[in-house]
Structure 1
Amino acid sequence: MKTIDLRGLLLAGCAALAVTGGATAAQAQAARDYAIQRQDLASALRAYSLKSGQDVVYDPSLVRGRTSPGASGRLTDEAALQSLLAGSRLSARRTPAGGLSIVPEGEAGRPQADATGEFSPPAATVDEIIVTAGKRAERLGDLAGGASAVTGQQLKAAGAQSNADYLGRIPGVVFNEGTSGQSAVTIRGVGATAGIDQGQGPTGYFLNEIPLTEPSYASGIPDVDTFDLNRVEVLRGPQGSLFGSASLGGAINYIVNTADASGFDAATETTVRHIARSGKASYAVKGMVNIPIIQDKLAARLTGFSREDAGYIRNLGAGTRNNLQVNGVRGSVVFTPTDRTTLSLLSLYQKNKSDEIATTQSAFGPYARSTILAGPTDYDFEIHSLRLDHRFDFANLTVLASTNTKDHVLDSDVTRSSALRTFAPKGVLSQEIMHTKMKTIEARLASDGDGPFKWLIGGMYSETNTDVATLSSLPTGAAVLASRYNAAQLQGELFNRTYSHREGAEKALFGEVSYEFIPTVTATVGGRLFDTKYWVEIQRYGINYGLTGQTVPRRNAGDDGFVPKVSLAWRPSRDLTVYALASKGFRFGNPNTVVDLPGFDTPAAWASDSLWNYELGAHSSWLEGRLQVDASVYNIDWSDIQVRLVRPGDNLTYGTNAGSARIRGVELAVVGRPTAALTLSSNITYLDAKLTETVRTASPPLLEGTRLPGASPWQISNQASYRFSGPLTPVLTVSHRYLAKAPETLQGPDVKVAGYNQFDARLNVSLDDVDVALFATNLANKRAVAFGYGLSSTGTGLSEFVIRPRTVGVTVNWKLR
């Protein structure tokens, strides 16, 4: 595994950026050579978008039939856009997400967010966000489906460092905090466990559309650092038609900023904080530099970050804490040789290392556990991608190729449950070492035009290779083992060894067609034709497997089919979209790897679940943009659920498809700005997610009416921000979150997690290019369980992951432009 020490480099680099950045500020508003000829306005705006690198969105009815006079000469982006819109009675508004929205001149006077994301008096509108949820740029408010987007500016304003700081505040999303790299997200209650699935998980994860979810048990779930993120898109409901496997309940797409050839830019962020019960300070230092190499043609961007969170859970036996270190670097190179072609390279490396697993054991106290051996975790992920975007006269081509590598090492003290504990005074260790490499290529063509007919067609192929070693050992116990067991079964301190090799492949054709058959109503039909294959082979050696070991020959699983998506959207104005949607999701099946048991018919494999989502919703803007209301109601029918059951006779678990569930929910998101100074928001989710069929082959039986794990019936998030007038423009933000109780597992529905309120506060002040924030999270210092593994049979009580105790600190941000 790789080891990279980034801290000294980051500290020095951030200091250098702060000193030298001001000298290059004059380059921020660079001019470009524009040569956009007179043509229809829609085509002119597309040419401008490619040249400037900015997303431009608009209601097609606004530009239909209009002609642009063009833009020629060396112009700033603003001047070029004004030239293109001359005489059209249209204007542009910029959003904090970096997009441009074309609106009638009468609406252009609405005050919009400035470069800092703040709003100017006398009134303020809710910002518009540009997303690529449909694999083409469009306004969030135009989507025919449930979706949310958190912009980089919003992440910064909230002081978010990781997934735990923001995902759980989004409607329909529950963040199940676990060990670093092992935290899972449940969307709309779709999940048979609140933790890591033994097969492919129900939520898809992407980075700039690069798929990050492997076809089986996850070697790690990325927690992408929030610094220099453009936005995080959360798509609720199955996304199989465009995003493929894993997105059974929904998908999360992290969008990082890429290189910008228009001018130099730089930024730094430094945080110091204290976590209650940790005993020492935590810190984070981050930096970004964007360098144009050839003006308007070629640029490079480098982002680095280092964070250390002091541990608040003590291992009384091993003397360790759950200290966490996160170090990483992102790099981007973008080359635009012509106004039609863009090549983009993107790389990321991130390393998460914890000194101790972050579970408490209730027998030893609210923030404690006790084992002989420490339980450190080490999780790395590395991504490299090459993307081509080219505009033909009739369509836009995108080709995206990527590699994604994950490594994890997880140590567990299993002394209390091991038969060897009577002669293992220094403990019994189980270590899991996992390496996964995933390669993916996707190519698609999307129609270029704003007429009533739009289309998208594409294909993809992905292959994944995973190697897993599970090693059981007696630390410093080689001599004891040699005196008790045959030497042929041992390997030094190792007494049991399991090695597995797994390979998976997915290939698919996908497409989508939409037609605006009357000026305000659009019908969309799409789908994905898929084929998945997965196989595994296992070798086991040691004292449990005889003198020659045990081999599980290759076992296979495969699936193919078609998942459709149909929607109808009514858009009477740019301020209202009402939609109806039906969509289906899918995920990989997997083979069972337990040895055969005489007298019991163990399934050879399990297949994809069957899940249909039926949804009605609306995105709306009121009071001249000062109030935004998004609402949806949905019904999910889920059958042939992928579950783990216990085999009678040897109590080993196996996977199968069994049972069914019904999920009904309502999601409401409201954002209002009654004045320029005050912003209020509230997200409310009601969820009724229960089994509709009893599975008696389970042990214990899974009973009809049981609530799905982690599917809290109520989830509420509220926030109020007030910007005071005067020096430093202070902004005070207070927030609240409530998550109702839910079962921890399907097998033990009486053990509950969640059921808590959390209150946070933050005060931001600004001085020129520097922002300073004082913050406190979990003000009441509430101990609450986010997720757990139930009651242990070894006398250690409940094994629980708890939310972070009260945390106070200060963050200083500097940005050149």
Structure 2
Amino acid sequence: MRNSVVQLCCLTLGCFSSSLLAINENSGASLIEEVLVTATKRGGQLIQDIPITIQAISGERLTEAGALDFNDYYRQIPGVSVNDQGPGDKRYVIRGINSTGSGTVGLYFDEIIVTGENLNTEGGRQPDIKLFDMDRIEVLKGPQGTTFGSSSLSGTIRWIPNYPDLTGFSADAGATFSSTNHASGLSWTVDGMVNIPLVADRLALRIAATKVDEEGYIDNRFRDGANNDDTEAVRAILALQATDDLMISFLAMHQDSLTRGRNGYMEQQIDLPASPSLNGGPVSDWFNTDLSDGRFDDSFDLFNLKAEYQASFGTFTATSSIFDRETEFDRDASAEIEIITGFTFPADGTGQSFIIQPQDRELFSNEIRFASDWDGPLQVLFGGFMQEEDRDFRSAVITVDSESGQITPNSLTLLDRLVSTEVDEVAVFGELTWQASDRLTLTGGFRWFDFDLTENATAVTGFPGRPGSGPGPELTSSESDTIFKFNLGYDFTDQILGYVLFSQGFRAGGTNDQTAASIAGVTIPAGFGSDSVDNYEFGIKSTLLDGRLIANAALYYMDWTDIQVRQQAEAPSGLRFTYRGNGGAAEVRGLEVELQAYPTDALQLGFTYGYTDAELTQNLPVQSDGLDGDKLEYVPKHTFSVNGRFERPLGSNGGLTGFVSGDLSWVDDQANRLRPTSIQYREIGAYSLANLRFGVEGESWSAIVGVNNLFDEDETTAYIFNGGSQPPVGFVPPAMVRPWPRTFYLSLRKSF
């Protein structure tokens, strides 16, 4: 299989190189169609005209590739990776910046902030927004703190849906049927859209919906295909052209996803001293050995009201958004409870157990901004931001029935804690741009922010089943600071833009729950502060050969300080208690290259390469977690991808077009932990993924047959650890995550 991948890679690169040499011989060259983006908050701009690193993927490309979520496209973007533990449980990584705590990548659905709050050490629990009726996806790399605020520490991802067309009726429907190796059955996805003008050229409604039934391939003792994806989503957007200058839109979206198990399988059974039947022996392929029946139920609602007024001197934008997300995360805790307490499986019913973590999180955010369009060399962007966030989180350990793996009336609660958090944020941001000459542009930006956080925790039940101590003290934390950005853009020619960029990003701090610590007699800090990244970048963007070749590159250095990391305090009894603090530092050096070419009108080729060297430059507070020189986790040093598409007319009348397209991505070695001496340290080998598609398109319909993961790559891409995994007290095998197995699919689409 490896030889096949190498051969395919060499063949594709060879075609790319030879085709580029032939470009000058082609007459009647047509320009590459660039995607218009709004990432700078200055209105629509072509990517090649913006002096920062942005990549965009069009909705047409997403539809043709059958992309459903982030996993289906991120490998085509250099410098981007993901720690994936299943639907709704991901941590996105841009340019190597990742750690425990809140997300390090800002996530936006148009104007709506959807960045997840990380509550565990392995996954990010970022929402998996399904990709249906999309206009584009924008990926901004490097800190975006001045424009997008907290958690855009290393970059920002924006999902932009299609908005209503005021001029006419249209509709679209599609269905995909697929078969995955090792899966429990056939999978299917349907989606549809209808665009209805209610008042000609003034008012229109666009409604889109999708249903995903993706069968899993990992079995457990309770069901086959437990890592399924069962999702329903619907979105409506109402657009009103109130006057020639004023556009008002309202967006509402609901999505509900359920999976019965994470994307992790084991190669060995649990081996614990008190459970003779669990002997650590081998298990069947693609099997999860959890002793209770887990699930992840993720439901969210998005609302946005936006008004844009275009005056002759600039554009005023006011936007108000709500992100309301409810999650129910239940995972097996049986091994951990036995290790801690010595309970047996399943004789007394207390060893088999869940950790349940339901959360209700609501973000209410408002922003108003002005982007100038003045005559003259000076332009400004200025705005204000306000956000209110409420989180209600429960973490409980509850015993389950030994046969069903579910909670019953006889279940016992071994631990139960409630945490309520309120976060208020205000910010002011701005940019001043000076066109110093016909070729030189200077931009300076800032963001002043102020956070106030209040947290209340209640110990309902103390471990293991004792009455809880009740409400703890109210914890508060506040922080105020200013970050900056400086950008110089220089047009060497009309086709070549060079830029130098300094930008800063930050991630807000928080509080440490004192409840459990006080029970153990441990003193820990009440809170922790923000961490920050300084980014220094040089880039080149070029559009060459009469618009048939785009060649972009960026070289960057990032300095990450006051990292939010795990720290420990020790009680008089010797018990160690873990909390979150600031410590350590890291540096990231990288290079990103992107090429797009149209050698002929029928052939499109693309190539990307990313180099990322990310390592600690200062010891972490818990030195067993990381020392100076350790490589950052889940950061491959090299990645590359190639893609291509060839089309030609079918038949003599030219009414049909046939095409073949494909892509290949390769990801270098990486590791799941900083310290090679950690008992949970695992090296992750290099792997490659290839996808291939054949299609026929008519004026209003298309049919595509394709295969994803053509060579059925099964290299481990992530590890999930539960329990102590300590040889003296027993062995709890980690769950391993692999790419989704080879999948054949048929996709049909019809427009009206």
The answer, yes or no, to whether TM exceeds 0.5 is: yes
Q: Are 2:628 and 1:704 equivalent residues in the alignment?
A: yes
**Of the candidates 762, 768, 777, which is equivalent to residue 708 of structure 2?**
777
CA gap 1:622/1:549 in 2 versus in 1, 3 angstroms: same
Which of 746, 751, 761 lines up with 2:682 in the alignment? 751
Task: For residue 147 of structure 2, give the secondary structure of its aligned residue in structure 1.
Answer: helix
**1:135 equivalenced with 2:41 (yes/no):** yes
In the alignment, is the contact (CA less than 8 A) between 1:215 and 1:464 conserved in 2? no
**C-alpha deviation, 1:327, in angstroms:** 0.5
Count residues in correspondence.
Answer: 680
1:710 aligned partner, one-letter code: Y
Write the deviation string for residues 277-331 of structure 1: whole angstroms up to 9, x where unpaired: 0031000000000000001100000001001110111113665621211110000
Alignment-derived partner of residue 27 in structure 1: none
Equivalent position to 2:254, from 335, 341, 349: 349
2:7 maps to which residue? none
CA distance in 2 between partners of 1:292 and 1:675 (Å) = 39
Secondary structure at 1:315 match in 2 = coil
- Change in CA separation of 1:700 and 1:416 when aligned onto 2, cut-off 3 Å: same
Tell me the percent identity. Answer: 27
Show the 5 A alignment for 1:39-438.
123-136=29-42, 137-192=44-99, 197=100, 199-213=101-115, 217=119, 220-316=125-221, 321-363=226-268, 364-418=283-337, 419=341, 420-422=343-345, 423-424=348-349, 427-438=352-363
Mark the CA change 1:227 to 1:321 in structure 2 (over 3 Å): closer, same or farther. same
Which residue number in structure 1 is paired with residue 540 of structure 2? 618
Greater displacement, 358-367 / 250-259: 358-367
Closer/same/farther in 2, CA of residues 797 and 493 from structure 1, 3 Å limit: closer
Residue 502 of structure 1 is aligned with which of 418, 421, 444?
Answer: 421
* Alignment partner of 1:602 is 2:550: no
The one-character-per-residue Cα deviations of 1:425-479 (angstroms, maximum 9, x if unpaired) are 78212211110011000001111235321101100100110111222222359xx
CA contact (8 A) 1:421 1:428 kept: no
Assess if the C-alpha contact under 8 Å between 2:111 and 2:304 holds in 1: no
- What are the superposed Cα offsets for residues 650-677 of structure 1, whole Å, 9 maximum, x if unpaired? 2332111111111000000001111112
Structure 1 position 655 matched with structure 2 position 541: no
Give the C-alpha shift of residue 541 in structure 1: 2.3
Distance 1:150 1:785 in 2: 27
Deviations 1:168-210 (A, max 9, x none): 2211111222221111210000112xxxx3x321110001121
Is contact 1:739-1:757 (8 Å) kept? yes
Question: Residue 635 of structure 1: CA displacement?
Answer: 0.3
Q: CA deviation at 1:392?
A: 3.0
- d(CA) in 2 for partners of 1:494 and 1:425? 9
Distance 1:433 1:790 in 2: 20
Question: Distance between the aligned counterparts of 2:210 and 2:588, measured in 1?
Answer: 40
Q: 1:478-497 counterparts in 2 under 5 A?
A: 493-497=412-416
For residues 375 and 46 of structure 2, what CA distance do their matches in structure 1 show? 14
What is residue 373 of structure 2 aligned with on the other side? 448
Q: Which amino acid aligns with 2:737?
A: F
The aligned counterpart of 2:550 is 628
Q: Do residues 720 (structure 1) and 641 (structure 2) align?
A: no
- Cα RMSD (Å): 2.2
Return the alpha-carbon distance in structure 2 between the equivalents of residues 755 and 307 of structure 1: 30
How far off is 1:126 after superposition? Answer: 1.8
2:327 and 2:681 map into 1 onto residues whose CA distance is 32
- Structure 2 residue matching 1:303: 3-state secondary structure: strand
Q: Report how far residue 357 of structure 1 moved.
A: 2.1
Q: Secondary structure at the residue paired with 2:431?
A: strand
Q: Distance in 1 between matches of 2:187 and 2:461?
A: 43
**What residue in structure 1 maps to residue 510 of structure 2?**
590
Measure how far apart 1:780 and its partner are.
1.1
The aligned residue for residue 11 of structure 2 is none
Alpha-carbon offset, residue 503 of structure 1? 0.9
Deviations 1:102-140 (A, max 9, x none): xxxxxxxxx9xxxxxxxx995443211111111022111
Post-superposition CA distance 1:233-266 (Å, at most 9, x none): 0000000001010100100011011112111111
Paired residues of 2:596 and 2:607 also in contact (CA < 8 A) = yes
Query: Structure 2 stretches of 5 or more lacking a match?
Result: 1-22, 269-282, 403-408
Alignment TM-score, normalising by the size of structure 1? 0.80
Q: 1:614 to 1:243 in 2, by over 3 A?
A: same
User: Cα distance 1:393–1:543, how it changes in 2: closer, same or farther (>3 A)?
Assistant: closer
1:519–1:798 distance in 2 versus 1, CA, 3 Å: same
> Following TM superposition, by how much is the alpha carbon of 1:729 offset from its aligned partner in structure 2, in angstroms?
1.9
- Is the 1:215–1:588 Cα contact (8 Å) retained in structure 2? no
Structure 2 partner of 1:731: 659
For residue 472 of structure 2, give the secondary structure of its aligned residue in structure 1.
strand
Q: Is the 8 A contact 2:233 2:253 kept in 1?
A: yes
Cα distance in 1 between the residues matched to 2:169 and 2:666: 43
Letter in 1 for 2:560: W
- Mapped to 1, the partners of 2:254 and 2:466 lie a distance apart of 42
1:767 aligns with 2:698: yes
- How many Å apart are 1:643 and its aligned residue? 0.7
| Contact map agreement 2:187 2:215 (CA 8 A) in 1 | yes
SS of 1:562 mapped into structure 2: strand
Distance 1:701 1:279, change over 3 A: closer
Taking a change above 3 Å as real, the CA distance of residues 675 and 392 of structure 1, as seen in their structure-2 partners, is closer
* Cα drift, residue 222 of structure 1: 2.2
**SS, match of residue 467 in structure 2:** coil
Task: Check whether the contact 2:93–2:104 (CA below 8 A) recurs between aligned residues.
Answer: yes
State the SS of the aligned residue for 2:705. Answer: strand
**Secondary structure in structure 2 of the residue aligned to 1:222:** coil
Residue 374 (structure 1) shift: 1.4
1:358-410 superposed Cα distances (whole Å, 9 cap, x missing partner): 21123135521112321111001111110011123433110000111001101
Contact 2:259 2:296 in 1 (8 A): yes
Give the CA deviation at 1:577: 1.5
| 2:48 partner SS | helix
Range 224-233 or range 551-560, more displaced: 551-560
- Counterpart code for 2:211: S
CA distance in 1, matches of 2:434, 2:126: 38
Specify which of 740, 744, 749 is matched with residue 804 of structure 1.
740
Matched to 1:803, the amino acid is: P
The TM-score normalised by the length of structure 2 is 0.87
Amino acid aligned to 1:183:
K
Cα distance in 1 for partners of 2:378, 2:410 equals: 66
Q: In terms of mean alpha carbon deviation, does 745-754 or 604-613 score higher?
A: 745-754
Supply the AA of the counterpart residue of 1:128: E
Q: Could you tell me whether the CA contact under 8 Å between 2:422 and 2:454 is conserved in 1?
A: yes
Distance, in Å, in 2 between the alignment partners of 1:640 and 1:306 is 43
